[in-house]
Amino acid sequence: MEYSKIKDLLDLYFKGKTTLVQEKSIRIYFTSDGVDERLKPYTALFEAYSKAAQDTFGGSLQLPQKNKSFQIWLPRAAALLISIIGVAAFMYLASNKAAQEKQALAAFKESRELMYLMANQFNKATQTLSLVDQFQVHKNKYLK
């Protein structure tokens, strides 16, 4: 293979943009005897890759056992916690609403008392005006 083609493939390889076929051709080129002198430093890299691909693990792996009891009670505990938070939030909001209703009721009662007081004052003023009117009528009767 010619130098420029291999150099382009190497650039693509190090950028991670080669296909599997292109990678295979690069590996074959560097494991053969006809490697260009300018590309000799890459030979050790691809030889190490081919040796690493041949390595196998002959032992067995023991995966740790999962704690099943933890998996069983965790969703239940989370559901219970969410329920408790929901009930507490509802009770807090309900008590807050009750306090607001009490304040509104107290303000309504105070406003009603003030209205009664004003109505009484208007009634007294109306009675006084009727007395003034009667006085005016009688005054005119006698002064004529």
Number of domains in the chain: 2
13-54 pLDDT, tens digit per residue, is 889 999 999 988 888 888 888 888 888 888 888 888 888 878
Domain hosting residue 36, numbered range? 3-53
Q: Are residues 85 and 143 in the same domain?
A: yes
Q: Are residues 144 and 78 in the same domain?
A: yes
Residue 64 lies in a domain: no
Residue 81 lies in a domain: yes
70-103 pLDDT, tens digit per residue, is 778 888 999 999 999 999 999 888 888 888 888 9
pTM of the model: 0.39
Distance from CA of residue 103 to its chain's centroid?
A: 35
Q: Are residues 88 and 132 in the same domain?
A: yes
97-140 pLDDT, tens digit per residue, is 888 888 999 999 999 999 999 999 998 888 888 888 888 888 87
Residue 138 lies in a domain: yes
Q: Are residues 144 and 76 in the same domain?
A: yes
